[in-house]
Amino acid sequence: MQPTRLRALLKRPEVARAAGGHDGLTARVIEECGYDVVWASSFEISASRGLPDMSLLTMTDYLEAARQMAAATELPILADCDTGFGNRLNVAYMIRQYEAAGIAGVCIEDKIYPKRNSFLEGGQVLEDAAEFAGKVAVAVRSRANPDFVVVARTEALIAGLGMAEALSRCHAYADAGADAILIHSKSPQPDEVVDFLRAWQRPVPVVVVPTTYFGWDIRAAGEAGVAMVIYANQGLRSSVQAMRQVLADIRTTGSSVRVEGEIASMKEIFRLTRVDTWTAVGA
């Protein structure tokens, strides 16, 4: 089962690699590129609808996107569930819905609702640590399969609250039953994360998202004690850049001659969407 697989990936000696996706096609590409986990990114799901990552979509919207990813790939899906979509009751409902949809695990963060993306200007406001720990405990109690993974994410470093606060919060979340901790940082260097790992005092795996400290490679992360690295948005960002360049070239030159050798062929899209499999079903 996928929850068991995700749990094993978090506990193995080798660092697990996750990449952000937003639909079935991106999940399938992530699998073919050799990643271990698909991160059902709330940022990517929102952006794919032309919306900012600011809690504008509902749980149903995010759940449907995650369900599409789970149907398209054999990889476990770790779903980015923002603040849990409400209070403790909402968190309990969310866990049951995601688990029933075949998702391997969820990640919730300790911001207040409505959340704002971690890299937006203007600061972040965090929920009371004890209240969020209560949400984590409810999430753990609400799962039917004990292997379903609950990741607790702190934004203490993002909010500028300091290392002591980040550690205190994460220790509390681990004590509440979180299966892994995600420590987030927007520093251009990995120093904050490394300091956190050195001071970490629980036998609970630590997950990182090196969006801003992108020079920190997987080997160094593993040596520092990281269990999983999530490349949360690079796929979407690269697709926007490539799409813009190709379409601009076609618009300028009046044909797609110059770009045909650089873009996926129709045959490749047919392969990715498994046309032959579906043709055989209907034969």
Please state the domain extents for the chain: 2-232, 241-282
Whether 63 and 100 have beta carbons less than 8 Å apart is answered as no
What value does the mean pLDDT take over residues 27-32?
98
Q: What is the pLDDT of residues 222-269, one digit of tens each?
A: 999 999 999 999 999 999 999 999 999 999 999 999 999 999 999 999
At 283 the pLDDT is: 86
Instruction: Output the CATH code of domain 2-232.
Output: 3.20.20.60
At 81 the pLDDT is: 98
Q: Which long-range contacts (CB under 8 A, 24 or more apart) does 172-177 make?
A: 172/129, 172/130, 172/133, 173/110, 173/132, 173/133, 173/136, 174/202, 174/204, 175/133, 175/202, 176/133, 176/134, 176/136, 176/137, 176/140, 176/152, 177/136, 177/137, 177/139, 177/140, 177/141, 177/150
Q: How confident is the model at residue 123 (pLDDT cuts 50, 70, 90)?
A: confident
Q: How confident is the model at residue 122 (pLDDT cuts 50, 70, 90)?
A: confident
Q: What is the mean pLDDT of the chain?
A: 97
At 1 the pLDDT is: 84
Catalytic residue of the set 23, 36, 53, 128: 53
Q: What is the pLDDT of residues 134-156, one digit of tens each?
A: 999 999 999 999 999 999 999 99
Determine which helix (DSSP H) or strand (DSSP E) holds 100, and give its type and residue range: helix 88-100
Q: How confident is the model at residue 166 (pLDDT cuts 50, 70, 90)?
A: very high
Whether 65 and 101 have beta carbons less than 8 Å apart is answered as no
The yes-or-no answer on residue 53 being catalytic is yes
Q: What is the DSSP letter of 111?
A: B
Q: What is the pLDDT of residues 33-45, one digit of tens each?
A: 999 999 999 999 9
